[in-house]
């Protein structure tokens, strides 16, 4: 735009209008439908967790800029909302339809929120936890915006306008994070809301054009260049002549030329000026006289000179050029008349002409716009006075010479308007870059409002906002906040997430300079920001605050091996990309199972859920060894495992388990079995010196007692030792009884003998009491060849002693290995899974100070587990503490599934086996429940997977134990021929009858006496039931048995009613037991002599003589009876 000459007063008026302060007023109340009337017009998302990349140390502002950049639809406002109370703060992002927008949105608000906003948040803050706010929660939020939650008083509101400034520190640390605002307001009940309306391309173009126009106008007045020039010319002409005649004359010409040029020009840059001037003059005079002549001549000569000048300037963009040209012309003319009195005729003529030429050229180049005008006026006077007295004779010739000198001078000055210059700089450095960035990523009309319970909280919040978000430079439009009156019309707009429309009587240019947008004489109560400024004030915390957790994210692989067509697969769950679970399934090849799997993670992170997922997906028979929990009971509710068997080892009242560690399978060598049993004991107990060898020797001796040939593995006592119902294997009790005998065979001194006997028997006796004794001290075991065809869980929770748990696990694995070997021989395609929880109990790492025996035993089991894959076995090992595991376990498991772990040594142990980087190892402590790092065969990188749970272990405790009991009882009833429980081998019985057998089996004394006295002669369950009930009745007759003992002790005098005791004995003898009553008494009181047949027979004979069918021989009798009584008393078990 070109401007003509503007006087100083006009320029000042223009600048005042440009810089005047703006005041926006809302004159109309909010008259649109409220948000509460139609919740479909708003959608909010609660940001519960934010994930950021590890090297960034905090969420990047650029990420939020990408989020807001996704929202560029007209008719929609972006919502940034913080609500704080005593519990913490909540962050919300959302969208709301603009109330006055009458166009049609491209999609509904909720769909836009989920497809655009939510996706943008998850894409830029990958792994963040974002939840859509329900309508009920939305109403609660609106209530909090209306009134105080405590006293229901109306909230106080304030508006914040202005442009924030970004401060970059040298160390790249930001001190403008919203976490600082939250910390300042900690414990206060407050709210901060920022509304951002995307502007159209047309609106952005209008703002840009307006800024350019303002810029051009301000540039004219920001700097003025003034030039002044002066040109001075002076000339002198002298003419002299001689003649042959006598003549005298004098002619003097004087001329003065004064020139003044004044010009103004505005420019910035460099200036060149060049002035050239020249003046030439000629004076010619001719005179002729004939005859005598005397004459006098007078003449005057006047001359004038006029100089004209013109200066022109032009400007375009940021460059300018100016050309200044001037011409100076001067002319003088002299004429004269001579009167002469003479004799004859005389005439004279003279002419004097002069010419002066002056040229002035000025050239200016700069980087500014210049428009100027120049005026030049020159006035010159020349006066010649000549006096000539001449007496001439003949002819006179005259020659005249003239010389002229000239000079020129220019002066340049700059006049600067600092206020205008500053705004030019502000537009150039602050506003235009915002427009430029906004043209690509969007420009947003933004307003901010805050609310709290009282004005003091508003003051604190408003001042904090100003302090945090004000910049070091460019503060022509600083942040300001204003507390609103309760009846202010703006408040109702704010409560409906709308930007108020205002009117202003101020100059539109002034509003534009304040970053307001004016259209159709309307201006919104807001400033236009690019995503850069919006990201500063509406960002996410850079440090964790109460109410919003920040999680560091580390990248893992995203490409598991693509399964081939027709390949059997096991689904694990969904792929996780930077913390975000995406709809991409991750599978394990089923063929990878028999290369073994290791699963680790601390308690409560989903380790058991992952194990159950693998078991269910595999659809294979499995055996779970669970030492500490009962969470696998939940599998009873899954259709895939409805027939699961769950045994409660150590709790015989629910689902009893029977395992005789000495029972081996046909085809298995006794030496192999003894080696595995010894290894299990060494792995579980500390065994010094020769104890393992003593136990080994005692085991072999026990097998020999049952007729086994150690060299041939054949039994010489039983024709069919492996048949069901045949008790051809020793028991733990047999081993205990052999220990003293074996120790005495060696040449140990008495002290060492006692130490060994005491040490070994103490360990073994602990295994023979209570439920452990019922489980392990049994003549026959559950057939593991049948168990491996079923889905089975062995709970060892009730065995509280850690070493005893380890021992039981060793016994189980020993039987499992042999069962798998035998099964594999019969069926090469047989597949089975064994899952061992808390495997470190049996497979712990050798540490300095451990015995060499323990080290060897752990290696034995590690080797065993490594080799069983050739039998079609798939091993899943689960443990909380990978660093406690023997290294062979980690090395020999092909697939690793890692849940959250904390300990550095555990991270190193597992991380090194799956090629994790340092950052990835550290990230293992940040995995949420159900999230795992998985590495398997043929994968190049570990990947992050969200396990898709098929069970909920929290409800495992709700499983009725009667369901477990009934199912296990049915299993034993189906396998009655095995004779695992006393009395069950005769025929298939009912559940009620089985429970009777279980009851009898729980009494160690009953079992001992029944086996020794009655078992050989019983051939049916009815016989068993009859004799068992009577024997049980006898053993419970405590008074009677106590009287029998007193008689054996020769203390019958202490019996209160001896006759009654005699009658009871007669009844037992005559009606129930007959001669067997004597054997019952023997095995109750003299069992220790059963190895000595002679002593046994003598004692039984003595009992017969003393009690004599109920006719007691106590005080009288033969010498033989007295001898029996003395012997019975001496040998009685005290």
User: What integer is the mean pLDDT of 416-432?
Assistant: 87
Residue bearing the bigger pLDDT, 1043 or 17: 1043
pLDDT of residue 857: 73
User: What integer is the mean pLDDT of 840-855?
Assistant: 76
**Per mean pLDDT, which range of 58-62, 66-70, 679-683, 797-801 is the poorest?**
58-62
Residues 279 and 166 in one domain: no
Residues 364 and 254 in one domain: yes
Burial, 944: exposed, middle or buried (Cβ in 10 Å; 0-12, 13-18, 19+)? buried
| 922, part of any domain | no
Q: Is residue 149 over pLDDT 70?
A: no
Q: CA-CA distance, 1106 to 1116, in Å (whole number)?
A: 10
Q: Is residue 496 over pLDDT 80?
A: yes
How many domains are contained in the chain?
A: 3
pLDDT of residue 10: 54
pLDDT of residue 255: 47
pLDDT of residue 987: 92
Residue bearing the bigger pLDDT, 349 or 933: 933
pLDDT of residue 261: 43
Tokens coding 877: 């090992």
Residues 229 and 85 in one domain: no
Query: The tokens 């001439």 sit on which residue?
Result: 392
User: What integer is the mean pLDDT of 934-947?
Assistant: 91
**CATH label of the domain that carries residue 58:** 3.40.462
pLDDT of residue 802: 85
pLDDT of residue 169: 58
| 635, part of any domain | no
Burial letters for 1063-1074: b for 16+ Cβ neighbours within 10 Å, e otherwise? ebbeebbeebbe
pLDDT of residue 54: 60
**Across the chain, what does the average pLDDT equal?**
81
Residue bearing the bigger pLDDT, 405 or 832: 832
Q: What are phi and psi of 76, to 5 degrees?
A: -130, 135
| 1008, part of any domain | yes
| 592, part of any domain | no
| 460, part of any domain | yes
Q: CA-CA distance, 124 to 540, in Å (whole number)?
A: 12
Q: Is residue 14 over pLDDT 70?
A: no
Residues 215 and 319 in one domain: yes
pLDDT of residue 716: 92
Evaluate whether 600 touches 903 at the Cβ level (below 8 Å): no
Report in angstroms the alpha-carbon separations of 94 from 120, 881, 1065, 1069: 12, 44, 92, 92
Report in angstroms the alpha-carbon separations of 250 from 281, 385, 390, 557, 594: 18, 10, 9, 115, 139
pLDDT of residue 280: 43
Residue 151: pLDDT band by 50, 70, 90 thresholds?
A: low
Tell me the pTM. Answer: 0.68
pLDDT tens digits for range 720-772: 999 998 999 999 999 999 999 999 888 888 888 888 899 899 989 989 988 88
Which residue from 714, 659, 672 is spatially nearest to 822, judged by alpha carbons? 672
Domain boundary (533, 550, 567) is at 550
pLDDT of residue 414: 72
Tokens coding 823: 């099964």
Domain boundary (507, 534, 550) is at 550
Residue 279: pLDDT band by 50, 70, 90 thresholds?
A: very low
Residue 204: pLDDT band by 50, 70, 90 thresholds?
A: very high
Residues 265 and 402 in one domain: yes
pLDDT of residue 771: 87
pLDDT tens digits for range 577-597: 877 788 899 999 888 888 899
Percent of the chain with pLDDT over 90: 41
Residues 995 and 1113 in one domain: yes
Residue bearing the bigger pLDDT, 176 or 45: 45
pLDDT of residue 865: 78
Residues 262 and 310 in one domain: yes
| 780, part of any domain | no
Residues 238 and 379 in one domain: yes
pLDDT tens digits for range 497-509: 999 988 776 678 8
| 672, part of any domain | no
User: What integer is the mean pLDDT of 148-161?
Assistant: 82
Q: Which domain holds residue 446?
A: 35-199+442-550
Domain boundary (497, 520, 550) is at 550
Residues 397 and 455 in one domain: no
Query: The tokens 């016994």 sit on which residue?
Result: 811
Residue 1113: pLDDT band by 50, 70, 90 thresholds?
A: confident
pLDDT of residue 387: 52
Percent of the chain with pLDDT over 70: 78
Residue bearing the bigger pLDDT, 885 or 195: 195
Q: Is residue 920 over pLDDT 80?
A: yes
Q: Is residue 21 over pLDDT 90?
A: no
Residues 166 and 223 in one domain: no
Residues 1005 and 1094 in one domain: yes
Residue bearing the bigger pLDDT, 398 or 496: 496
pLDDT tens digits for range 427-467: 998 899 999 998 988 999 999 999 999 999 999 999 999 99
User: What integer is the mean pLDDT of 852-868?
Assistant: 78
Q: CA-CA distance, 758 to 857, in Å (whole number)?
A: 23
User: What integer is the mean pLDDT of 309-334?
Assistant: 43
- The three-class DSSP label of residue 315 is strand
In the sheet that 522-524 helps form, which strands lie side by side, from edge to edge?
Answer: 501-502, 522-524, 518-519
Supply the DSSP string of 479-518, one letter for each residue: -EEEEPPTT-HHHHHHHTT-PPEEB--S-HHHHHHTT--E
| 757, part of any domain | no
Residue 401: pLDDT band by 50, 70, 90 thresholds?
A: low
pLDDT tens digits for range 50-94: 877 665 556 677 888 888 888 888 899 999 999 999 999 999 999
- The three-class DSSP label of residue 108 is coil
Residues 506 and 373 in one domain: no
Q: What are phi and psi of 328, to 5 degrees?
A: -135, 120
């Amino acid at each position: 735009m070109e401007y003509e000459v503007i006087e100083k007063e006009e320029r000042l008026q223009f600048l005042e209008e440009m810089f005047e302060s703006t005041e926006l007023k809302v004159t109309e109340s909010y008259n649109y439908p409220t948000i509460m009337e139609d919740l479909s017009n708003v959608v909010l998302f609660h940001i519960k967790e934010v994930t950021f990349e590890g090297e960034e140390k905090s969420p990047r502002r650029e990420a939020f800029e990408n989020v807001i950049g996704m929202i560029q639809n007209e008719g929609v406002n972006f919502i940034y909302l913080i609500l704080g109370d005593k519990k913490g703060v909540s962050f919300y992002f959302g969208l709301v339809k603009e109330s006055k927008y009458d166009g049609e949105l491209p999609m509904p608000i909720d769909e836009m929120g989920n497809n655009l906003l939510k996706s943008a948040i998850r894409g830029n803050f990958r792994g963040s936890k974002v939840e859509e706010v329900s309508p009920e929660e939305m109403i609660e939020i609106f209530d909090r915006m209306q009134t105080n939650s405590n006293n229901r008083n109306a909230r106080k509101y304030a508006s914040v306008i202005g442009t924030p400034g970004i401060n970059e520190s040298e160390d790249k640390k930001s001190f403008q994070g919203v976490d600082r605002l939250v910390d300042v307001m900690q414990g206060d009940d407050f709210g901060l809301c920022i509304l951002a309306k995307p502007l159209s391309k047309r609106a952005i173009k209008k703002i840009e054009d307006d800024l350019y126009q303002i810029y051009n106008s301000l540039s004219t007045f920001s700097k003025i260049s003034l030039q002044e020039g002066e040109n001075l010319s002076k000339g002198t002409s002298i003419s002299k002549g001689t003649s042959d005649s006598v003549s005298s004359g004098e002619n003097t010409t004087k001329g003065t030329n004064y020139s003044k040029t004044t010009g103004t020009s505005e420019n910035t840059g460099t200036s060149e000026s060049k002035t050239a001037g020249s003046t030439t003059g000629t004076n010619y005079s001719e005179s002729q006289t004939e005859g005598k002549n005397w004459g006098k001549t007078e003449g005057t000569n006047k001359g004038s000179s006029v100089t004209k000048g013109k200066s022109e300037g032009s400007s375009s963009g940021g460059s300018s050029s100016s050309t200044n040209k001037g011409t100076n012309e001067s002319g003088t003319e002299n004429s004269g008349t001579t009167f002469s009195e003479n004799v004859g005729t005389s005439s004279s003529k003279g002419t004097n002409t002069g010419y002066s030429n002056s040229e002035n050229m000025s050239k200016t180049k700069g980087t500014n716009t210049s428009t100027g005008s120049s005026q030049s006026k020159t006035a010159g006077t020349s006066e010649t006075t000549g006096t000539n007295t001449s007496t001439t004779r003949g002819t006179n010739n005259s020659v005249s010479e003239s010389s002229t000198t000239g000079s020129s001078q220019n002066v340049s000055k700059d006049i600067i308007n600092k206020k205008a210059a500053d705004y030019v700089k502000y537009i150039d450095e602050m506003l235009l870059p915002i427009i430029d960035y906004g043209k690509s990523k969007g420009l947003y009309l933004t307003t901010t409002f805050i609310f709290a319970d009282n004005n003091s909280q508003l003051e604190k919040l408003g001042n904090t906002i100003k302090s945090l978000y004000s910049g070091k430079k460019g503060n022509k439009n600083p942040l300001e906040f204003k507390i609103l009156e309760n009846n202010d019309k703006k408040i109702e707009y704010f409560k409906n997430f709308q930007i108020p429309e205002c009117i202003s009587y101020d100059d539109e240019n002034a509003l534009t300079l304040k970053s307001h947008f004016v259209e159709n004489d309307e201006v919104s109560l807001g400033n236009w920001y690019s995503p850069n400024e919006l990201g500063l004030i509406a960002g996410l915390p850079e440090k964790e605050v109460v109410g919003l957790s920040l999680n560091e994210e580390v990248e893992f692989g995203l490409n598991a091996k693509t399964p081939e067509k027709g390949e059997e697969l096991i689904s694990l769950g969904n792929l996780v990309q930077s913390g975000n679970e995406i709809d991409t399934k991750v599978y394990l090849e089923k063929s990878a199972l028999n290369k073994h799997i290791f699963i680790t993670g601390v308690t409560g992170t989903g380790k058991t859920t992952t194990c159950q997922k693998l078991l269910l997906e595999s659809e294979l028979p499995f055996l779970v060894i669970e030492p500490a929990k009962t969470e696998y009971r939940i599998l009873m509710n899954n259709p895939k495992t409805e027939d699961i068997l769950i045994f409660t080892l150590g709790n015989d009242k629910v689902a009893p388990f029977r395992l005789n560690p000495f029972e081996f399978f046909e085809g298995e060598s006794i030496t192999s079995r003894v080696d595995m049993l010894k290894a299990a004991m060494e792995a579980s107990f500390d065994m010094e010196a020769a104890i393992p060898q003593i136990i080994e020797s005692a085991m072999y001796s026990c097998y020999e007692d049952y007729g086994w040939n150690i060299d041939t593995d054949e039994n010489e006592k039983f024709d069919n030792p492996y048949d069901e119902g045949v008790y051809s294997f020793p028991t733990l009790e047999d081993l205990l009884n052999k220990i003293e005998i074996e120790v005495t065979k060696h040449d140990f001194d008495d002290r060492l003998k006692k130490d060994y006997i005491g040490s070994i028997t103490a360990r073994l006796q602990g295994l023979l009491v209570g439920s452990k004794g019922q489980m392990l001290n049994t003549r026959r075991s559950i057939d593991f060849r049948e168990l491996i065809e079923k889905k089975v869980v062995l709970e060892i929770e009730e065995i509280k002693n850690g070493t005893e748990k380890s021992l039981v696990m060793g016994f189980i694995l020993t039987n499992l290995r042999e069962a798998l070997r035998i099964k594999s021989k019969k069926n090469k395609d047989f597949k089975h899974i064994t899952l061992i929880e808390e495997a470190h109990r049996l497979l712990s790492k050798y540490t300095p100070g451990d015995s060499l025996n323990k080290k060897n035993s752990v290696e034995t089991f590690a080797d065993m587990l490594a080799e069983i894959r050739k039998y079609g076995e798939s091993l899943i090992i689960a443990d909380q503490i990978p660093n406690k595991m023997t290294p062979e376990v980690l090395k020999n498991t092909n697939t690793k599934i890692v849940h959250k772990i904390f300990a550095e040594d555990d991270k190193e142990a597992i991380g090194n086996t799956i090629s994790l980087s340092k950052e990835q190892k550290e990230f293992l402590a940040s995995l949420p429940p159900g999230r795992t790092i998985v590495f398997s065969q043929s994968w190049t990188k570990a990947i992050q997977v969200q396990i898709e749970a098929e069970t909920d272990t929290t409800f495992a405790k709700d499983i009725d134990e009667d369901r477990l009991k009934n199912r296990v009882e049915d299993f034993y009833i189906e396998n009655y021929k095995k004779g695992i429980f006393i009395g069950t081998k005769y025929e298939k019985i009912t559940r009620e009858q089985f429970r009777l057998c279980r009851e009898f089996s729980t009494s160690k004394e009953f079992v001992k006496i029944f086996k020794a006295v009655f078992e050989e002669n019983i051939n049916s369950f009815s016989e068993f039931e009859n004799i068992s009930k009577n024997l049980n009745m006898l053993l419970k007759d405590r008074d009677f048995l106590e009287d029998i003992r007193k008689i054996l002790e020769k203390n019958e005098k202490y019996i209160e009613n001896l006759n009654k005791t005699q009658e009871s004995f007669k009844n037992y003898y005559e009606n129930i037991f007959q001669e067997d009553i004597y054997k019952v008494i023997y095995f109750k009181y003299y069992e220790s002599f059963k190895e000595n047949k002679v002593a046994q027979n003598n004692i039984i004979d003595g009992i017969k003589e003393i009690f004599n069918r109920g006719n007691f021989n106590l005080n009288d009798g033969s010498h033989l009876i007295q001898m029996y009584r003395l012997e019975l008393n001496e040998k009685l078990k005290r």
